[in-house]
Copies of this chain bind each other. A is one copy, B any other.
Amino acid sequence: MKTTIKDVAKLAGVSFKTVSRVINNEASVKPQTVEKVNQAIAQLNYQPNTAARNLASANTYAIGYVYDNPNAYYVINMQNGILAECRNRGYELIIHPCHATSPTLTEEIIKMCKRSQLAGLVLSPPMSEMAGVMDSLDELAIPYVRIVSGSATKRNHRPCVFVHDRDAARNIVEHLIAQGHTRIGFISGDQGHRSTEERKLGYREALTNHGIPLDRELEIDGTYSFESGVKGFKQLRALGDQPTAIFACNDEIASGSLFAARLNGLDVPSQLAIAGFENSPFSLQTWPKLTTAAQPTGEIASQAAATLIEEIQSKRTGRLPSEVAQHTHFHPELVVRESTYIPD
Contact = CB atoms under 8 A, between A and B. Distances in A.
A263 interface: yes
A55 to B, nearest CB: 4
A55 B49 contact: yes
B79 A49 contact: no
Contact of A287 (B79, B80, B116, B259): B259
Given A52-B55, A256-B285, A92 B116 contact: yes
A137 interface: no
A53 to B, nearest CB: 8
Given A79-B95, A95-B79, A226 B285 contact: yes
B263 A115 contact: no
28 contacts: A2-B114, A3-B114, A45-B111, A48-B115, A49-B55, A49-B115, A50-B51, A50-B115, A50-B116, A50-B117, A51-B55, A51-B60, A51-B117, A52-B55, A55-B55, A75-B76, A79-B95, A83-B97, A92-B116, A93-B94, A93-B95, A94-B94, A226-B285, A252-B285, A256-B285, A262-B287, A263-B287, A282-B285
Contacts of A255: 285
A72 interface: yes
Given A2-B114, A95-B95, A226-B285, 10 more contacts: A47-B111, A50-B51, A50-B115, A51-B54, A51-B55, A52-B55, A92-B94, A94-B94, A252-B285, A255-B285
Contact of A76 (B3, B51, B76, B281): B76
A234 to B, nearest CB: 15
User: So how many copies of this chain end up in the complex?
Assistant: 2
A49 B94 CA distance: 15
Highest count of chain B CB atoms <10 Å: which of A49, A51, A95, A282: A51
Interface in A55-92: 55, 60, 72-73, 75-76, 79-80, 83, 92
Nearest to A226: B285
Most buried by B among A2, A76, A83, A281: A76
A45 to B, nearest CB: 8
Contacts of A45: 111
A285 B55 CA distance: 49
A116 B51 CA distance: 7
A335 interface: no
A75 B73 CA distance: 10
